[in-house]
Amino acid sequence: MPETSTQPRTTPSAAYTPTDRTVPTRSKERAAYDHEVVHAILDEGYVCHLGFVRDGAPVVLPTLYARVGSRLYVHGSTGSRPLRMTGQADHGLAVCLTVTHVDGLVLARSAFHHSINYRSVVVHGTAHQVTDPQERRLALDALVDQAVPGRSGDSRPANAKELAATAVIRLDLEEVSAKIRGGGPNDEPEDLSLPHWTGVLPLAKGYGAPIPADDLAPDIEVPGYLTAL
């Protein structure tokens, strides 16, 4: 739908190079390649949708991710399909990793101009298994801290058995784009006098009160990094 993006843009310091795959076929004005914009969207999330091809057909699975500089990490059981496929592939596994934040529902006077406000990042590339023990540790800490910054320092690190059961894959940020839609509805001039309510219904975001585990000792208080969220 042809609304224009009204999201403010920061001045780019560096940007990803657009490619055939990262230039949208439509609403090109919504695309962004600045590192700052792309990284901010990635850093706000922790669940991505990871796509890969199995027997010629697409598969899309939700999974956790973490960004460390210009790399993304995904982890999982060594038995899970994309992680096993990456480990078996000599040259890595072709993936598409997408992160989406929905910010609001855009209600226009016409059904056609209904839309959503969102910020998404799409990363194309080849995932490789991480085998270096130090990089694996760093990635696993980052995966915990992506959702709850500070948490990796307040939990027991993985032991040898757990490390052996966990696969980590890396995807470099090279072929990357963001897409952003912000602002209100863009109705046709001839629709302005229609009697329908029009505007944006923003999504409320945040967290509820922490629910302690049944077996939590009563003297252990909710840590500051949680109340900070």
Which of positions 116-145 make contact with a second copy (CB under 8 A)? 116, 118, 120, 122, 124, 140-141, 144
Rule CB under 8 A: say whether 160 interacts with a second copy: no
Binding residues for a second copy, rule CB under 8 A, total 95
Residue from the set 5, 7, 147, 172 that interacts with a second copy by CB under 8 A: 147
Q: Which residues of 130-148 are buried (b: 16+ CB within 10 A; e: fewer)?
A: beeeeebbbbbbbbbbbeb
- Of the ranges 8-16, 28-36, 92-100, 128-136, which one interacts with a second copy (CB under 8 A)? 92-100
Return the residues of window 180-209 that contact a second copy according to CB under 8 A: 184-185, 187, 191-192, 194-209
Between 12 and 102, name the residue whose CB sits nearer to a second copy. Answer: 102
As given in the structure block, the two tokens for residue 25 are 């076929």
Give the span between the Cα atoms of 135 and 48, in whole angstroms. 21
The least CB distance from residue 224 to a second copy, in Å, is: 10
How far apart (Å, rounded) are the C-alpha atoms in residues 229 and 207? 7
Tokens 């790399």 locate to: 71
Q: Which residues contact 10 (CB under 8 A, 6 or more apart)?
A: 34, 36, 37
Contact call for residue 14 and a second copy (CB under 8 A): no
Shortest Cβ 88–a second copy spacing (Å): 13
Closest C-alpha among 39, 49, 31, 44 to residue 13: 39
Residues 26-55 that bind a second copy (CB under 8 A): 26, 46-47, 49-54
